[in-house]
Chains A and B, each alone.
Chain A
């Protein structure tokens, strides 16, 4: 089965600093989804990457999928307290239109004002 490893597991940054979260797979990623979760709440979809080398941005968050499609990174520029939460990557192990996602363990981000 596909396993997703996220690093770091937790991160504390000063407001205004940039940061990067990584998601590494043991197998080819057919679809890579990034979600954000506030503590005790559901997940909010951020972005989905599918093609090797693909890069997408939303506001100050940029996600990339490497050419080999086994690693994705999420980069936040000029972090703000509103960016705090848990970031989870999820992958489609079978190219099956988003069903049956496998999730990484999450990265807990805290932003100090």
Chain B
């Protein structure tokens, strides 16, 4: 079945450590996105990529980094520079060729940094 996978579902790290969250899609979508969701709040865009080897900062990119070496994969690294990394992270992808162009979301990764 086509879809987006994120791993792991839960991740625990010590403060000061970098951590990489995985996001893979087999929907043949060109665009991929990373969002952060804090309790009781909506989604905020961290980074997005519309094509392989290219990505753009979203609204809250500071302390995060991404790569897009393959169409199927868009890993997110939460660096030690991110001051408040504990959150729920959601990855999404979309196609700009097939209406209604909605974004498909992965199941999310809950990151806890202590």
Contact = CB atoms under 8 A, between A and B. Distances in A.
Contacts of A88: 42-43
A112 B44 CA distance: 30
The CB with the most chain B CB atoms within 10 A, among A45, A48, A101, A104, is that of A101
Interface string A94-110: 00011111111110100
Interface residues of A, number: 28
Contacts of B25: none
Interface string B92-114: 10101000111111111010000
Interface in A64-113: 88, 90, 97-106, 108
A90 B35 CA distance: 13
B46 to A, nearest CB: 12
Contact of B101 (A44, A97, A104, A106): A97
B31 interface: yes
Interface of A: 1, 4, 6, 9, 31, 33, 35, 40-45, 48, 50, 88, 90, 97-106, 108
Given A33-B103, A43-B90, A98-B101, 10 more contacts: A1-B59, A35-B105, A40-B88, A45-B102, A48-B100, A97-B101, A99-B94, A100-B45, A100-B48, A104-B42
